[in-house]
C-alpha cells in the first residue's frame, strides 16, 4: 500500500518545476483539466529534473513546500482526519496538528520521488457537473507489469481554487486511513502525544 500512496502524490501533488502563476491559471479550469494538466507537468518535470533530484535531495523539500502545498487544504484534511478530536481540541492544538500533518505529507511526497519509476497516469472519461463545488476526479496509474491502480482525487472549490482534501487509492481513503490510526493513539495517549509523534516522524509514514 505504501508504494501507491506515494504514487498518488506523484500523480497530482509533485508539481516540481511549475511556476506559481500556473496555479492561478488553473483555478478557472474544470477540476478534471486541473488534474490532467498537473499530472502532465509532474511527469515531464520528474523526467527533466531526474539528475538534479538525485544529486540534491534537500532541494526537493523546498520545491514541495513552495509549489505543492498550495494545492491542498490541510486544515480541512486535518479536521476530517481528527474527526471528533478536532472539535475537542483547542486552537493551539489544531494549529500544531495541522502543521505536523502537513509535514507528514511533505515527507510522503519526498519519498514518492524515490518510489516513482516511470508509470503513466491516465484520466478516463467521466462526467463532472459544471455547477459542483465538490467533485471526485478518477485517474489510473498504468503499470507495465500489472493491472492499473485506480486513484480518485476529492477536490472542492474555494475562492476560485480547486483544492484537494482527500485521495483514494484502490478504494482506500487517505483521510479515513489516517483517521483510524490517529484515533487509536488519541484515545490511548491523548492528542498532544499524537501531535508529538507525528511531528517527530515516528508514525504516519506508512498508514
What was the pLDDT predicted at 20? 34
DSSP-derived 3-state class of residue 99: helix
Per-residue pLDDT, averaged over 174-198, amounts to 94
What was the pLDDT predicted at 141? 81
> Would you say 153 and 35 are in contact if contact means Cβ atoms under 8 Å apart?
yes
Contacts of 134 (CB under 8 A, 6+ apart): 154, 155, 156, 157
Winning range, highest mean pLDDT, from 61-65, 77-81, 143-147? 77-81
* Rounded-to-integer distance, Cα 45 and Cα 59, Å: 14
Per-residue pLDDT, averaged over 99-106, amounts to 86
User: Phi, psi at residue 20, to the nearest 5°?
Assistant: -55, -40
* Rounded-to-integer distance, Cα 68 and Cα 163, Å: 11
What was the pLDDT predicted at 79? 95
Domain residues of the chain, as ranges?
Answer: 2-200
Per-residue pLDDT, averaged over 101-108, amounts to 81
3-state helix, strand, coil in the chain (%, to 5): 60, 15, 25
* Rounded-to-integer distance, Cα 17 and Cα 63, Å: 8
**More reliable by pLDDT, 178 or 142:** 178
- The sheet that has 149-158: what strands, in order across it? 120-122, 134-142, 149-158, 161-169, 172-173
pLDDT band at 166 (very low <50, low <70, confident <90, very high): confident
* Rounded-to-integer distance, Cα 63 and Cα 163, Å: 18
CA 35 to chain centre: 12
pLDDT band at 46 (very low <50, low <70, confident <90, very high): low
pLDDT band at 11 (very low <50, low <70, confident <90, very high): very low
Grid coordinates representing 65?
513546500
What was the pLDDT predicted at 78? 95
Give the global pTM: 0.75
Please calculate the CA angle 83-196-110 and round it to the nearest 5 degrees: 85
H helices within 68-203, ranges in order?
A: 74-82, 84-88, 91-115, 174-189, 191-200
Residue 154 reports pLDDT greater than 50: yes
Structurally, what CATH architecture does the domain formed by 2-200 represent? Roll (3.10)
The percentage of residues in the chain with a pLDDT greater than 70, rounded to a whole number, is: 66
Residue 134 reports pLDDT greater than 80: yes
Residues in the chain: 207
Tell me the C-alpha to C-alpha distance, in Å, between residue 32 and each of 15, 22, 154. Answer: 16, 15, 11
Amino acid at each position: 500500500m505504501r508504494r501507491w500512496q506515494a504514487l498518488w502524490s506523484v500523480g497530482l501533488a509533485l508539481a516540481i518545476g511549475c511556476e506559481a502563476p500556473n496555479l492561478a491559471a488553473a483555478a478557472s479550469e474544470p477540476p478534471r483539466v486541473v488534474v490532467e494538466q498537473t499530472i502532465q507537468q509532474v511527469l515531464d518535470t520528474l523526467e527533466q529534473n531526474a539528475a538534479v533530484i538525485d544529486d540534491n535531495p534537500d532541494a526537493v523539500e523546498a520545491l514541495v513546500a513552495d509549489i505543492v502545498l498550495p494545492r491542498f487544504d490541510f486544515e480541512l484534511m486535518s479536521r476530517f482526519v481528527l474527526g471528533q478530536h478536532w472539535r475537542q481540541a483547542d486552537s493551539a492544538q489544531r494549529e500544531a496538528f495541522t502543521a505536523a500533518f502537513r509535514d507528514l505529507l511533505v515527507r510522503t511526497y519526498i519519498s514518492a520521488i524515490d518510489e516513482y519509476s516511470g508509470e503513466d497516469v491516465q484520466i478516463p472519461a467521466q462526467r463532472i457537473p459544471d455547477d459542483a463545488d465538490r467533485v471526485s476526479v478518477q485517474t489510473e496509474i498504468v503499470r507495465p507489469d500489472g493491472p492499473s491502480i485506480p486513484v480518485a482525487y476529492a477536490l472542492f472549490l474555494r475562492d476560485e481554487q480547486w483544492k484537494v482534501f482527500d485521495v483514494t487509492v484502490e478504494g482506500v481513503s487517505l483521510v479515513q486511513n489516517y483517521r483510524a490510526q490517529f484515533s487509536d493513539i488519541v484515545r490511548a495517549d491523548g492528542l498532544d502525544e499524537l501531535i508529538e509523534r507525528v511531528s517527530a516522524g515516528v508514525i504516519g509514514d506508512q498508514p
